[in-house]
Amino acid sequence: MHGKRIVVVMPAFNAEKTLLATYDDVPKDIVDQIILVDDASSDATAQIAKKLGLLVFVHDHNLGYGANQKTCYAKALEAGADVVVMTHPDYQYTPKLITALAAMITSGEFDIALGSRILGVGALAGGMPLYKYLSNRFLTFVQNVFLNHKLSEYHTGFRAFSREALLRLPILENSDDFVFDNEILAQAIYFGLRIGEVSCPTKYFPEASSISFKRSVKYGLGVLWTCIRFVLHKWRLARFRLFAADGRRIVEKSSAQRPS
């Protein structure tokens, strides 16, 4: 697409029941490579991924969703990606929109693109629990105020990044847990990256991964703490490494040969 190498990454954990459906909907005509990182699943996720021809990496033990993403992005950059699209292999988001997200990056108009469940009317219609929808709307409102930005949601797991964005943001300072998703967008806003959104339908069903109410509360508190750190760092009242110019980043290996 526009001469850019498109790599799809899938942070996986016990996704054997939905991986094939996710893979089947990936637009193979524009995707150059698919990488799956298995966070020590107890099922056959890795074996199925290998049979499908995906490039597979397996953590020796469960490190967490955020740590999984760190591995995904590092491996995608090592594979020469110009655009990295993350989609969950649980088939909750439609991979058919990978083309749209990637195009937003390859056009040069955006550094990050998000598939929003909130734009349009797809969230509740797709089965999102009411408490998740209401908490999503509340947290997004708070973040738009604190971060002085305007997104329809900060909590989608379907997103695309330019190579330059992933190399610029100090994502290795972020949490290894679910709040990683939120921290990376706060970082993008802090460092002035351009973020765009497209409407994305979503599906909630038994096989799709979803965190518990307890974990959702922990995530929500983490989101609020991210907002507070953003403001304190911006106003120079405190210093946090996830917003620091010298924060730990993925380092591009100069000796690595990027695939042609």
Q: Where are the domains of the chain?
A: 6-243
**pLDDT, tens only, 223-233:** 999 999 999 99
For 81-118, the pLDDT digits (tens) are 999 999 999 999 999 999 999 999 999 999 999 999 88
Specify the pLDDT at position 225: 98
pLDDT at 57 over 80: yes
Q: Minimal CA–CA distance to 42: which of 13, 9, 12?
A: 13
In this model, does residue 1 exceed pLDDT 80? Answer: no
For 175-184, write each residue's pLDDT tens digit: 999 999 999 9
Whole-model pTM: value is 0.92
Residue 118 CB partners (closer than 8 Å, separation 6+): 136, 137, 140, 152, 153
Quick check: 259 pLDDT over 60?
no
128 pLDDT above the threshold of 90: no
3-state secondary structure 152-198: CCCCCCCEEEEHHHHHHCCHHHCCCCCCHHHHHHHHHHHCCCCEEEE
pLDDT band for position 211 (cuts 50, 70, 90): low
Least confident of 25-34, 112-121, 158-167, 238-247: 112-121
Confidence of residue 125 (pLDDT cuts 50, 70, 90): low
Answer whether 154's CB lies under 8 Å from 219's CB: no
Of the chain, the percentage scoring pLDDT greater than 90 comes to: 80
* CA-closest candidate to residue 190, choices 243, 245, 150: 243
Per-residue pLDDT tens digits for 67-80 = 999 999 999 999 99
Question: What is the maximal distance between C-alpha atoms in the chain?
Answer: 52
- Which of 3.30.420.10, 3.40.640.10, 1.20.1260.10, 3.90.550.10 would CATH assign to domain 6-243? 3.90.550.10
